[in-house]
Amino acid sequence: ADGRFVVETSRGAVLARDVFVATNGYTGGVVPSLRRRIIPIGSYLIASEPLPPDLVRELSPKGRAFFDTKNFLYYWHVSADRRMVFGGRASFMPTTIDRTAAILHRGLLEVHPQLAGYRIDYAWGGNVGFTVDRMPHVGRTKDGLAYAMGCCGTGVALMTYLGTRVGEWLAGGEAPALARLRFPLVPAPYEGRPWFMPIAGEWFRFQDRLAARTRRE
């Protein structure tokens, strides 16, 4: 319409000069060309009950966040209200929050066995968006839609920056450097449902076991 996009919503149509797609791990069929480039992978977290101040100082003397280097990685920190927040790629297969909470709780006790007597108060999860080249991508589709996605698990920090840069770009500024990267397709057959992830997950799990055995030796 007059060179503008028409965005249909449940409450009516919106005319827009630009449309910015930032759906990441929830990129569905609205933009098929992007759906074929993003692999949604579940990321899950649990949070403990509030911990005693002395235990908090033992777990994280300087209040830092931590993560390991496994394929099935864990990441954790103590929140402002003294809860241990512990997350990770608990499963590469379709699953439930209850199941992933149990998996993460076992992982938490492997890392911090002193938390065995403390209950888990909360569990939640959602999708992160991965790409074939493990790089975030910014650009425009052939239809002119702007996008930023594929942060591969680092979106809390990175997407804040990319959103700002894309906003400046759409307002007439310089295109972000990442816009020069080619955004590769996930090899066919793929239409947004990562059917191959259970197979990949077993391979990653084997690599983690092999690395752990090597470290012990």
Query: Domain coordinates of the chain in residue numbers?
Result: 5-38+131-186, 40-130
Sites in the chain below the pLDDT cut of 50: none
Indicate the fold that domain 40-130 takes in CATH: Alpha-Beta Plaits (3.30.70)
First to last CA, the chain: 67
For residues 128 and 141, the answer to whether their CB atoms sit within 8 Å is no
Q: What is the pLDDT of residues 131-181, one digit of tens each?
A: 999 999 999 999 999 999 999 888 888 999 999 999 999 999 999 999 999
pLDDT of residue 188: 75
pLDDT at position 205 is 75
SS3 string of 123-151?
A: EEEEEEEECCCCCCEEEECCCCCEEEECC
